Amino acid sequence: MNDIDLVRDILDTQVLDREKRALGKVDGVGLELRDGAPPRVAYLEIGAVTAWARLGPRFARWATRLASRWQGEAHPYRFPWSRVRDFGIDIEIDADAERAPPLDLERWLRDKVVKRIPGGQ
Amino acid sequence: MSRVIALERYVGKPVRDADGAEIGHLHEVRVRAEAGELVVSEYLVGGTGLLERFSLAGLARQIALVLGVRHSAGYVVPWDAMEFPEDEAARCTRRAADLERFSAVPPEKR
Amino acid sequence: MKKILGIALGVVTSIGGFLDVGSIATSAQAGAAFGYSLLWAVLLGTICVIFLVEMSGRFSIVSGHTITAAVRKRFGFAGFILPFAAALLVNLLVLASEIGGVCVALQLLTGIGFQVWAIPVAMALWLLLWLATFDVVEDGTALLGLVTLCFVVAVFKLGAQPGELAAGLVPSLPAQERAHYLFLAVSVIGATIAPYLFLFYSSGAIEDKWDKSWITANRVIATSGMSFGALIAMAVMVVAALTLKPQGIRVEEYEQAALMLVPALGGWGFYLFIASLAIACFGAALELSLATAYAAAQAFGWNWGENLKPRAAARFSMTYTVFIALSALIVLSGLNPMKLTLFSMAITAVILPLTVMPFLVLMNDRRYMGSHVNSRFSNVVVTLIVVLSAILAIIAIPLEIIGSR
């Protein structure tokens, strides 16, 4: 199967890591425009800023400002198509959620908040 | 010389043709796998038969479609006929009359 | 055999989960003010809910997506964010109403003011979600929720006449107090077609890993569960009609409704009312909190699942934690619980179109539904539901202002 529809099948689709843990949604697609050759998909992007920016330029500025106070989200997580291992209802990529930036907030909450609450261990 | 654009910012937004007329919203980007990479073959603009992802107006048209109302055709823009200016709407370098039309819902892939 | 057990459990869950603070409050008010003549509103709401619940189950089974995730994928981040934000706000108010319901029940029991109970109830709610699994939460509240059958028992004991009941199933306008009547009609329907119900159902189907073999089971569960649940809601209205209306008691506060079971069931009736109110509201609060956390996680792509320990789904768990805390604050503020309930039911009716319209598109999208797309009949029904909900949305707020006196 050679043909893929980016908007229908890739954008806003759930991304999972090797162990089928959630990494986020495909919030954006980086398209490289080339002279004399068809544009190619440079990377898929996961990031809250990326998603909110789709609402308009004002949201983009607001989201970037908020995100720069949270280090991880200021730099959206990007991965090339070559990292995709399987793709259907969800997109499975070759990554480890434990180390991937999109889960910085998840890990922070887990270590600083959840684990401190009884029953959260 | 190449540049990378945030494609998601153009999706669901209007597209103009070479005459400056609005020909619809960009609602699909068809790519094909080539040597492990995805390259664009064409863009689908306008038409109620397919996704109008963004607007509620699109939703209303989808409902009309579901109820059996006839839908109008959209445009197929080949990869070499689309420009993505910075902070502006996507622009087609051809005139609407020179573009191929589509009207059917594309065949199911999976 | 396992399927039959699953169906039975599903039905019981739906019955036990049907009644919540909104149904109790609106049915009691409707019965006390207008006797049987608003039974049709429960019927109409239930028919809509059966279709919506069956569709959400079928959707999740066939597509493997939850509704929220599919709405985002299908309509894009920009297209879904507004309905999502609206739903969150409404959920907050409804959760505050449910917690308020439990607090009022405790106030009726102990005489201690409902505000005092806000924090303990919220803590109990949170603790249960934090420590338990999905099955425990669902099954536990379902079984306990069967206490609400006492209303059905009361109907029989009070000797309601089937003929008169049947008359109430046909819509009609009263001679006087039309605004109040219509307002209650809207509120009853809004209380019945609660969006969190089918969003929760869709997530439940995924949590329980329903596959295509569950398609028929899903249809049975949706139809029977919601129907039996509706019978209980109708029973509340009938009991109110038979015990409160003759006394001219208008249900403006929960206290006025508290004695409605006493004529039929004696002294126990008071305690059964309290138990029904507390359990129905607590169960609904659990569902609502989970439904909100599900919605956020599925929309933004986080790890989610009640079967996961909190540390495995930190954002998911913190979402319901924060949500419950905010709702508790609303209850603490001392807003009249009955007024809050009626207001949140009207608001639910207002955002209903936003939540139901995506259904029309999703249920016909072959990429998600394959050969299980909606039949023309189902499409007509959903369209009518959309139209109905749009009408409700438009008239709800003006009626709230005019008709809630």
pLDDT in tens, C272-289: 999 999 999 999 999 899
What confidence score (pLDDT) does residue B57 get?
47
Q: What is the C-alpha to C-alpha distance for residues B103 and C308, in angstroms, rounded to an integer?
A: 46
What confidence score (pLDDT) does residue B72 get?
61
CB C100 within 8 A of CB C347: no
- Residue B82 belongs to a domain with what CATH number? 2.30.30.240
Report CA dihedral (A10, C363, C78, B88) to the nearest 10 degrees.
Answer: 70
Q: What is the C-alpha to C-alpha distance for residues A97 and C301, in angstroms, rounded to an integer?
A: 13
What's C180-209 look like in SS3? HHHHHHHHHHHHHCCHHHHHHHHHHHHHCC
- Strands in C207-358 per DSSP E: none
Q: How many domains does chain B have?
A: 1
CB C250 within 8 A of CB C240: no
CB C190 within 8 A of CB C397: no
Q: Residue B108 falls within a domain, yes or no?
A: no
Q: What is the C-alpha to C-alpha distance for residues C290 and C293, in angstroms, rounded to an integer?
A: 5
Per-residue burial over B70-106, b if 16 or more Cβ lie within 10 Å, else e, is ebeebbbbbbebbebeeeeebebebebeebeebeeee
Model pLDDT for residues A2-31, shown as the tens digit of each residue? 689 999 899 999 999 988 888 999 999 999
CB-based contact A35 B2, cutoff 8 Å: yes
Residues from chain B that touch C361, judged by Cβ atoms under 8 A, are 59, 62-63, 66
What confidence score (pLDDT) does residue C4 get?
83
What confidence score (pLDDT) does residue C72 get?
92
CB C38 within 8 A of CB C188: yes
Nearest CB among A27, A39, A57 relative to B8 is that of A27
What confidence score (pLDDT) does residue B67 get?
57
CB-based contact A110 C78, cutoff 8 Å: no
What confidence score (pLDDT) does residue B50 get?
43
Q: What angle separates helix C21-34 from helix C226-243, to the nearest 10 degrees? A: 40
Instruction: State how far residue A3 is from chain B, nearest Cα, in angstroms.
Output: 5
One-letter amino acid for residue C377 of the chain: F
What confidence score (pLDDT) does residue B109 get?
30
Chain C residue nearest residue B60, CA to CA: C357
Rounded to two decimals, the pTM is 0.88
Burial label for A20, CB within 10 Å (0-12, 13-18, 19+), is exposed
Q: What is the C-alpha to C-alpha distance for residues C244 and C261, in angstroms, rounded to an integer?
A: 10
Q: What angle separates helix C337-362 from helix C39-63, to the nearest 10 degrees? A: 50
Beta strands B14-16 and B90-92: pairing type?
parallel
Q: What is the C-alpha to C-alpha distance for residues C283 and C288, in angstroms, rounded to an integer?
A: 9
Beta strands B37-45 and A14-16: pairing type?
unpaired
Q: What is the C-alpha to C-alpha distance for residues C356 and C386, in angstroms, rounded to an integer?
A: 6
**C78 interface with A at CB cutoff 8 Å:** yes
Structure token pair of residue C136: 């425990």
CATH 2.30.30.240 describes domain A6-116: yes
CB-based contact C78 B62, cutoff 8 Å: no
Give the residue ranges of chain C where pLDDT is below 70.
1, 403-405
Selected residue of C315, C320, C321, C322 to mutate for chain A interface (largest A Cβ count, 10 A): C315
**C-alpha torsion sign, points C39, C41, C47, C53:** negative
Q: Which residues constitute the domain of residue B23? A: 7-102
Q: Which of A55, A24, A2 is nearest to C81 (CA)?
A: A55
Q: Residue B34 falls within a domain, yes or no?
A: yes
Residues from chain A that touch C358, judged by Cβ atoms under 8 A, are none
What confidence score (pLDDT) does residue C137 get?
82
Q: Look at the block and give the residue holding tokens 């259907």.
A: A88
Q: What is the C-alpha to C-alpha distance for residues C355 and C90, in angstroms, rounded to an integer?
A: 12
What confidence score (pLDDT) does residue B108 get?
33
CB C195 within 8 A of CB C348: yes
Query: Is the predicted pLDDT of residue A73 greater than 70, yes or no?
Result: no
**A27 interface with B at CB cutoff 8 Å:** yes
Beta strands A14-16 and A91-93: pairing type?
parallel
Give φ, ψ of C267 to 5 degrees. -55, -35
Q: Which of C344, C309, C315, A31 is nearest to B84 (CA)?
A: A31
Give Cα B46 distance to the centre of its chain: 6
CB pairs under 8 A between A and B: 99
CB C276 within 8 A of CB C19: yes
Q: What is the C-alpha to C-alpha distance for residues C229 and C15, in angstroms, rounded to an integer?
A: 4
Q: Which of C287, C330, C329, C295 is nearest to C315 (CA)?
A: C295
User: Domains plus CATH for chain C?
Assistant: 2-403 (1.20.1740.10)
Enumerate residues 6+ apart whose C-beta is below 8 A from C320. C126, C129, C289, C290, C292, C293
Structure token pair of residue C172: 């009609």
Q: What is the C-alpha to C-alpha distance for residues A40 and C202, in angstroms, rounded to an integer?
A: 37
**A3 interface with B at CB cutoff 8 Å:** yes
Selected residue of A8, A49, A82 to mutate for chain B interface (largest B Cβ count, 10 A): A8
Count of residues in chain C: 405
Nearest CB among A24, A54, A117 relative to C301 is that of A24
Selected residue of A21, A93, A106, A115 to mutate for chain C interface (largest C Cβ count, 10 A): A106
CB-based contact A6 B29, cutoff 8 Å: yes
Q: Which of C10, C8, C13, C372 is nearest to C210 (CA)?
A: C10
Count of residues in chain B: 110
What confidence score (pLDDT) does residue C88 get?
92
What confidence score (pLDDT) does residue B107 get?
36
Element (H, E) at A4: strand A3-5
Nearest CB among B4, B7, B33 relative to A2 is that of B33
CB-based contact B84 A32, cutoff 8 Å: no
DSSP per-residue codes, B46-107: --SSS---S-HHHHHHHHHHHTT-----EEEEEGGGEE--TTS-EEESS-GGGSEEE-SPPP
In order along its 110 residues, chain B shows pLDDT tens digits of: 689 999 999 998 889 988 888 888 898 999 999 888 999 999 999 875 344 443 344 455 555 655 555 456 788 999 999 999 987 889 999 888 888 877 644 433 32
Give φ, ψ of B101 to 5 degrees. -100, 160
